[in-house]
Every structure is written in C-alpha cells, then in structure tokens.
Structure 1
C-alpha cells in the first residue's frame, strides 16, 4: 500500500469530519452523541494548530483515508509533557496498516517535541484497539468501570500508556 502520512490541511476537513461523524454514529470509539458540523471541526483544527498540536492524515491514491492527532492529556501545566492521542480511519482502510503508520508518525512527532508520555483512552470492549496499542509498546495502566454511557449501555474505559523516552 503506497500510503502518504502528512500534516492535515484545511482542505482535508470535510473528509476528517465524515470519518469522525461515522465513528460518533456507529461506534464507542468516541463517547460523543452528536455529529459535528464543519464549523466545529474547523474550530477544533484551528485550535490544534494554534496550540502546536499535530493533526495528520493518511492519504492513499489521493484520498484521505484516516487521521490522527494528539493534545495535552489534561489542562493543568504539570501535564505539559503528557499527551493523549486519537486515530480514526474510514471503514475501508481498517486492518491495512494505516492506523500503524499514523500512530508511528504521532509517536515520532511526540518524541521530537520532547514529550514524555503518550496515553490512549480506549473503550474496554474494543479489543482490537487494545491489542493494536500493545504492538506499539503501550501497556495497560488503568480500567475505569462504567464511566461512559452510549447506545443505552454503560461503557468501561481502559487507559494505556507509552513512555516515549525509554529505549
């Protein structure tokens, strides 16, 4: 697969919006209920850029097929070296290595930025994502029972962590 990982641009926002809205409507990968508007997604993108946080896309044959980003884990100054990442793919691109390329790029960017740790918050029922993160060195660090609610059910959350400056 000839895949290009690059910084996202404003022209990518309609596809990013389509990907995230599909996840909102069909999965527990994100605990949002309401789909986002292009205006909301644009505001998110502009804040990420202004905050110096990466938003990257995976492009295959000229089409965006997924995206990833990270931002500071919590808003207090003491968390400035810890980030939480997100990766979302269109349905046709799952299981083809796209997520791994995006995650690898995010990890590299975090290391180059002098960050210390990367965190993943994953719905506990999403065994595929948990195993995926283990392949990249993330380890289980916490299990929070019934902290989310979506699709008329309580959802458990797993936290996984990668220390970036460990060899």
Structure 2
C-alpha cells in the first residue's frame, strides 16, 4: 500500500491523539495506563523542538502512523543524541512502513548534528525489540521492573544505534 510521509501538522492533532491512545488501551507499546485526556500531540510537538515529527498517511489522507525524534537531553554536550519513537496502526505494520519512517528520521536528523539514536522499549513489546535489532540497534541498558501496566511488571529496554 502506498503511504505518504510528511511533517506532522496541527491538522493531524486528533488523528495522532487517537492513534496513540489506541496503543495506550490495547498494548504495552505505550506506557500510560489510561488515554491522555488532552492528547499527546502537543506534548510531542513541544518535546521535539526542531527535531522531526512525521506522520504517514494513506492515499485517502488518513493518518495511520507517526514518528518523532526528540532531544534526549537538554545539555549542549549531548545534543548529538536523539530519542526516537513511532507508532503504526497494527493493520499497516509489516509492510515496510516502520523502516521508511526510521530512514526518514535518520535523513532529517543528520543535518542537525544528530549521529546517535536511542529508543526506550517495553520488555513486553517483542515486535519492536526485533524491529530495532534488525535495523542495527543494540541493547545498551535495561531498567528492570520499573513499569507496571495492567498489573504486569515490565522492564524498560534501551537500544542505541550510531548513524554517524
């Protein structure tokens, strides 16, 4: 299926909020236990600064995924590192869209001096762990049982990829 990847815009606010809250209520991929009342769009927009914030849309314009790179830390000495996140509706997974979004993020962060990507993944999100391993990320840390969702403990698994 053809997808268009473009910068997120204010008009995408509701679609991004709905998409993220889908994962909040159906999976361990998103950490909150309850949907964000005010939505996640503004939080992501504010956290990202000048880093890329993207959506993927179908031919009809329906937003079915979003991806973001954001500064990992506020210190100037760590500005070369970005944390990434993306969420793709389940029916659009497995068609190469995650790889396209990751590659687009890499393309856009290199010119702003980012050469190091980090991701934080729930230990229950095997699909994401496998995706990142396949795409050159390595596990660099694991915070054991720091999260609990729906009565289940989970680790935060940190992965890293150098893109310089």
The answer, yes or no, to whether TM exceeds 0.5 is yes
State the match for 1:52 in structure 2. Answer: 50
Kindly indicate whether the alpha-carbon contact (under 8 Å) linking 2:17 and 2:39 is maintained by their aligned counterparts in 1. no
Matched, 1:26 2:26: yes
State the match for 1:128 in structure 2. Answer: 127
1:30–1:75 Cα change, 3 Å: farther
Kindly indicate whether the alpha-carbon contact (under 8 Å) linking 1:48 and 1:54 is maintained by their aligned counterparts in 2. no
Q: Please list every run of 5 or more consecutive structure 2 residues that lacks an aligned counterpart in the other structure.
A: none
Distance 1:162 1:42 in 2: 26
Structural RMSD (CA): 1.7
SS in structure 2 of the partner of residue 75 of structure 1: coil
Distance 2:97 2:67 in 1: 10
TM-score (norm 2): 0.90
**Hey, which bits of structure 1, 4+ residues long, moved more than 6 A?**
none
Distance 1:125 1:139 in 2: 17
Q: Please list every run of 5 or more consecutive structure 1 residues that lacks an aligned counterpart in the other structure.
A: none
In the alignment of these two chains, the number of paired residues is 163
Residues 95-114 of structure 1 correspond to what in structure 2 (within 5 A)? 95-114=94-113
Matched, 1:16 2:16: yes
TM-score (norm 1): 0.89
